Amino acid sequence: MADTNNIPHEDGLDHSLNLLREGYMYILNRRRSFESDVFETRLLGKKAICMGGKEASEVFYDPDKFKRNGAAPKRAVETLFGKNGVQTLDGEAHRHRKQLFMSLMTPERLQILRDITEKQWDSALSQWEQMEQVVLYEDVQILLCRVACEWAGVAIKEDEVKKWTKELAALFEAAAGVGPMHWLGRNARNHVEQWIQELIEMVRDHKLVSSENTALHKFAWHRDINGELLDIETAAVEVINILRPIVAISIFINFIALAVHHYPEETKKLKNGDGKFAEMFIQEVRRYYPFFPFAAAMVKKDFTWNGFNFEEGTLTLLDLYGTNHDPKIWDNPDVLNPERFAGWEGSPFSFIPQGGGDYFMGHRCAGEWVTIEIMKVSLDYLANRKDFEVPDQDLSYSMVSIPSIPHSKVILQHVKRGM
Ligand code: HEM
């Protein structure tokens, strides 16, 4: 391990394989061994900088220093993101598109989302009571697909719910996949894009009435900064940017179930609470368990920070998981402790499970409030409103596979409606 350009760097031609082998821990392991929050490596054949921690996150989210266009790996664009979505935009074009995303997140729209989520949990419970066992990950995805479509104004035929749930899930399950997994993800993207493009065309041709405040309606009629309607492909990519991640909340819901099962003392505190502890519990689930490992950007123009030189065009990864487990920020970061959020003052740069910085000006997740609301409703059902048994199974989860999902996908049996 030598030191050039004053950034500690990993020797060797390429470390993409190490990244695959070490997954969520890749950046954190090196931040520890270099005793530095910034280091240089080589990924996908090119120089790359990795960094983590609060200060690094502040720099990463400075739009004068980093840009997004060209930062996402081609594989992720082909599966997870789609082409020309908000993730790839910079400057005024980004702000204009992001404004539309954020206009979907009003208190009224979030209340509608909570109501839909409760309705879907009730209806799922009625079905689960008739079943011997439920595979939570899979059944919650179906529930969330219904929530996502209803909230976004996307009509879905009852006999196609399972099919579209699987296709939407394939988009994020394949994000870091190689070989057949990647191909499944690409196929799913083609199918889902075609489905949503047809709906957008129908809205524009007035053959489908869409409710005004829904994502489908807003993206169908959105005009870019030049006053032009979005092309149909891009409008569909953005509607899918709402549907896909809502289905992905199934991963956090699996981790809620794990936390409820593994930490009964914490779960007891949820009973008859005023909602404050539930919120702390959710925040701790989002901090503690692995989900999005890092965010990627490109250095916009040469700059120096803390004596380190960042060269224009260098791929830079911000360690999201590692920042949420940084001992400089969190006491005993590897212990699940919702109480840590009791007096938490909040910081857009130190607690970053869904990215950091400003929602409107930067690339922080547009759906963070949606995620928290759906998680709160789901926690209430899992902890307070139903009884179930957890049979013997492998509840462990990988720190390498991205995304990480408990190996058994959380099997529940003899589900009954609770008090
Ligand atoms: C399931 C849990 C979720 C996780 C872990 C998550 C995580 C993230 C992360 C890490 C980013 C990128 C931040 C960056 O590049 O700096 C992001 C961006 C984004 N997320 Fe989420 N997200 C989730 C749910 C959602 C939901 C429910 C929605 C929509 C309803 C959503 C919509 C978006 C959009 C549109 C962006 C792009 C924002 C931009 O580029 O300006 N996400 N998310």
Burial status of residue 305 (CB atoms within 10 A of its CB: 0-12, 13-18, 19 or more):
middle
Q: How far is the CA of 398 from the centre of ligand 1 (A)?
A: 22
| Atom of ligand 1 at shortest range from CA of 363 | 41
Q: How far is the CA of 352 from the centre of ligand 1 (A)?
A: 11
With a 6 A CB cut-off, is 355 part of the ligand 1 pocket? Answer: yes
Is pTM beyond 0.95? Reply is yes
Element at 66 (helix H, strand E): strand 66-67
Q: What is the pLDDT of residue 346?
A: 80
Q: Which of 97, 239, 319, 365 to mutate for ligand 1's pocket (most ligand atoms within 8 Å of CB)?
A: 365
35 vs 103: CA distance, rounded Å: 42
| Atom of ligand 1 at shortest range from CA of 248 | 1
Q: Which of 354, 361, 363, 377 to mutate for ligand 1's pocket (most ligand atoms within 8 Å of CB)?
A: 354
| Atom of ligand 1 at shortest range from CA of 86 | 40
Q: Are 8 and 39 in contact (CB under 8 A)?
A: yes
Strand partners, 3: 8
Q: What is the pLDDT of residue 76?
A: 87
| Atom of ligand 1 at shortest range from CA of 362 | 41
The sign of the dihedral angle between the CA atoms of 255, 257, 262, 263 is: positive
| Atom of ligand 1 at shortest range from CA of 98 | 41
Q: What is the pLDDT of residue 75?
A: 84
- Strand, coil or helix: 138: helix
Closest to 411 (Cα-Cα) out of 192, 123, 198, 134:
134
With a 6 A CB cut-off, is 363 part of the ligand 1 pocket? Answer: yes
Q: How far is the CA of 252 from the centre of ligand 1 (A)?
A: 13
- Give phi and psi for 91, each to the nearest 5: 60, -140
Q: What is the pLDDT of residue 178?
A: 67
383 vs 363: CA distance, rounded Å: 33
With a 6 A CB cut-off, is 295 part of the ligand 1 pocket? Answer: yes
Q: How far is the CA of 250 from the centre of ligand 1 (A)?
A: 14
Bridge-based pairing state of the strands 46-51 and 315-319: parallel
With a 6 A CB cut-off, is 149 part of the ligand 1 pocket? Answer: no
Return the HEC string of 260-301: HHHCHHHHHCCCCCCCHHHHHHHHHHHHHCCCCCEEEEEECC
Q: How far is the CA of 392 from the centre of ligand 1 (A)?
A: 34
The DSSP secondary-structure symbol of 77 reads I
For atom 8 of ligand 1, which residue has the closest CA?
Answer: 354
Structural domains in the chain, sorted by start: 4-417 (1.10.630.10)
- Give phi and psi for 43, each to the nearest 5: -130, 140
Q: What is the pLDDT of residue 180?
A: 74
Q: In what order do the strands lie in the sheet with 66-67?
A: 2-4, 7-9, 38-43, 46-51, 315-319, 294-299, 66-67
- Cα 195 to chain centroid, rounded: 23
Q: What is the pLDDT of residue 419?
A: 60
Q: What is the pLDDT of residue 2?
A: 40
Nearest 5°: the CA angle 13, 19, 254 is 170
Q: What is the pLDDT of residue 210?
A: 87
Strand partners, 317: 50, 296
pLDDT in tens, the chain (419 residues): 444 468 999 998 899 999 989 999 999 999 999 999 999 999 988 999 999 999 999 999 999 999 999 998 888 888 899 999 999 999 999 999 999 999 999 999 999 999 999 999 999 999 999 999 999 999 999 999 999 999 999 999 999 999 999 999 999 998 766 677 788 889 999 999 999 999 999 999 999 988 999 999 999 999 999 999 999 999 999 999 999 999 999 999 999 999 999 999 999 999 877 789 999 999 999 999 999 999 999 999 999 999 999 999 999 999 999 999 999 999 999 999 999 999 888 889 999 999 999 999 999 999 999 999 999 999 999 999 888 999 999 999 999 999 999 999 999 999 998 76
82 vs 75: CA distance, rounded Å: 10
CB atoms within 10 A of CB 12: 10
| Atom of ligand 1 at shortest range from CA of 246 | 27
Tokens 């035929």 locate to 157
